[in-house]
Structure 1
Amino acid sequence: MTPQPVAAANTAVTRLILTDFRCYESLRLDLDARPVVLTGPNGAGKTNLLEAVSFLAPGRGLRRAQLSDIGRREAGDDPAGHDKAAIPWAVAATVTVDGETVEIGTGVVAASPGANQTNRRAVRIDGADAPSQSALGEWVHAIWLTPDMDRLFSEGASERRRFIDRLVFGFDAAHAESLTGYERSMRERTRLLRDSRGGRGADPSWLGALEDRMARAGVAVAAARLAFVARMNVACKLGVGPFPAADLRIDGEIETLLETLPALDAEDRVRNHLADNRARDTEARRSTFGAHRSDLICRHVVKNIAARQCSTGEQ
């Protein structure tokens, strides 16, 4: 089956199979394309089912849980998972996309006894191993609204970044890979600066290579966010029924550069900023410039006020 533009596709999960996932030792659901409502008492496993579906898309799922926390545990097991050894679990699904089917499987691969390996999430698509979970974005796009997102517009920028990035995944499957690459290079650069006292003792070619990766991936991330918000604004400014018209924009350092510069020139600026900020970033123990600092800004068009100042219902 050829990957479809998932944002425009008619997508449904028609079979869901769980193995040692949360409270489920084994579960199989055969479904059709109609909407599904889950009901039952607290603790019955409704959210666990939704979390399983969320793992059919790239990312850490709707709970953002550690892989080692997801496998089913017997009564008396350490609930905090202090040993951090991932208990193998699996989610398999048949997904229909515009009338065609794709078989998706994902889960934690069991490491060999005594092996020094980190927990790894495996992905298979139509029986073939995928190079990374980013490949899921070619087939499935998932958005969720959960109770802890009620304060999306009144709390910190990190949740809004995650929210907008997940929306972007549905229109740009490469966005997940760009974001993952950016964050990985940023972590490696921070570690290198910390261990080498501001980069003075670091291999300059290594440090420069990490900053080059951050620049290229960071500009790609920022450009994808800007393109998505431009598309969304066409619809959001109209308003629908009781939903107020909204104006969206991305407030970020790299996004600002892209307003006036071509992407390649913006990459050069980012590289220079990162190189100039090495001492500052060492002191702060984090990167103080980049795509990880951007924020989604939303305004009520009619009232001309920020979303954080709107009523809870308007938000």
Structure 2
Amino acid sequence: MSGLFLSELTLSHFRSHKGGRIECDGRPVAIYGPNGAGKTNILEAVSLFSPGRGLRRSSAEDMTRRPEALGWKVTGILQSLQQVHEIEIWSDKGAARQLRIDGKAATQNALGTISRVLWLVPSMDRLWIEGAEGRRRFLDRMTLSFFPQHAELSLDYEKAMRERNRLLKDQVRDAHWYAALEQQMARTGAGIHSNRVATLTRLQEAQAQAETAFPVAELELTQTEGEMPETEADLNEALAESRFRDMAAGRSLVGPHRADLQGTFAAKGVPAKDCSTGEQKALLVSLILANARALTQDFGAAPMLLLDEVSAHLDAGRRSALYDEICALNAQAWMTGTGPELFQDLSARAQYLEVTETAGISAIVTQ
């Protein structure tokens, strides 16, 4: 039995699900059914049990069931490190998302102290070949799993940067208007960079310590242009020096928002962007597993894993190896696929849940 898992999940007017209740234990949950039945919506609901906006990064309004748009609610019984918590997450019609833990209003940071959730979804399959923004978001999600305060640093940095960008667009030249904003950007930006670097170190160590069927990814944090100032003083100086260049561009061109994550298939020395589709997927799986192993050491239990259409681009051998590693981690992994045959290598090590377009969530099947 894993040390972190949902033993009960209830959905009400969430996405395509008018209602549904799932009872399970700490074993992996294999969710199968046709495309469009709402399998990913279940994973999105579970993703809300960690700080942040969830695996789709959707607004509270977007999560409500249509056409009723009455608001929605997700509740869960979370078993965490020998303690039991009742989590309620909801949004009234048109309102922001709200959270209660054990009957009391709580913050996202409080949720981060009792829960960890990692995910891999099909939209990430093109991570290595698309823009830097997606890779930054991927890195920051892993960073947040180690450093829950990373979210607050990022919000404070972005707020200061938006205000600075407004001055730049208005062609404000008085240095006094920029000083306080740049100090805030420098303080929070240095913290963001430090957290990211520490995360990459943890991931590299976790990959090196494990024998796995998935390739090791060498990771490097780069800047889209020039060098990334690493300290608060260096970033503050770089922002001041870049004002006139930024004014011409109408935006800030220096800082952690310009960082990029580069990956290399270590055994071949080939950049991830030049690898085959299957190799790129295997590198992503390797990083998620490394993240989970490192978190298990830090948190005291394996995080919950959300693996949407996980079999895509994985051959049968690697799919079987993935299941073995999930079970070795003792993680509750919520996985989706079109049919139960995709999970046959799990056998009785998993629970099975069928989702149909007409009936929605059916009873969980325990083998």
| CA pair 286-103 structure 1, distance change in 2 beyond 3 A | farther
Q: Give 1:3's aligned residue.
A: none
In the alignment, is residue 295 of structure 1 matched against residue 286 of structure 2? Answer: no
Contact kept? 1:239, 1:246, Cα under 8 Å? no
- Normalising by structure 2, report the TM-score: 0.69
Q: Give 1:52's aligned residue.
A: 45
| CA pair 239-13 structure 1, distance change in 2 beyond 3 A | closer
Q: Give 1:314's aligned residue.
A: 279
Q: Give 2:161's aligned residue.
A: 186
Q: Give 1:216's aligned residue.
A: 187
| Greater fraction strand | 2
Secondary structure of 2:10's counterpart equals strand
Structure 2 counterparts to residues 1-315 of structure 1, below 5 A: 10-74=3-67, 88-110=71-93, 119-130=95-106, 132-194=107-169, 197-200=170-173, 204-205=176-177, 207-237=178-208, 240-252=211-223, 256-258=228-230, 266-315=231-280
Q: Distance in 1 between matches of 2:114 and 2:75?
A: 14
Amino acid at match of 1:305: V
> Cα distance, 1:169 vs. partner?
1.6
Amino acid at match of 1:251: T
> Cα distance, 1:219 vs. partner?
0.8
Q: Distance in 2 between matches of 1:270 and 1:105?
A: 40
Amino acid at match of 1:295: D
Q: Distance in 1 between matches of 2:146 and 2:226?
A: 20
Q: Distance in 1 between matches of 2:226 and 2:188?
A: 11
| CA pair 314-21 structure 1, distance change in 2 beyond 3 A | same
Q: Deviations over 1:251-281 (max 9, x none)?
A: 13898443xxxxxxx2122122223323332
Q: Distance in 1 between matches of 2:272 and 2:211?
A: 17
Contact kept? 2:70, 2:93, Cα under 8 Å? yes
Matched residues, percent identical? 42
Q: Give 1:82's aligned residue.
A: none
> Cα distance, 1:139 vs. partner?
2.1
Q: Distance in 1 between matches of 2:248 and 2:111?
A: 38
Q: Distance in 2 between matches of 1:110 and 1:200?
A: 44
Contact kept? 1:11, 1:96, Cα under 8 Å? yes
Q: Distance in 2 between matches of 1:146 and 1:242?
A: 20
Contact kept? 1:250, 1:296, Cα under 8 Å? yes
- Normalising by structure 1, report the TM-score: 0.79
Q: Distance in 1 between matches of 2:182 and 2:123?
A: 34
**Number of aligned residues:** 278
| Greater RCO, CA 8 A, separation 6+ | 2
Q: Distance in 1 between matches of 2:236 and 2:120?
A: 36
Q: CA RMSD in A?
A: 2.5
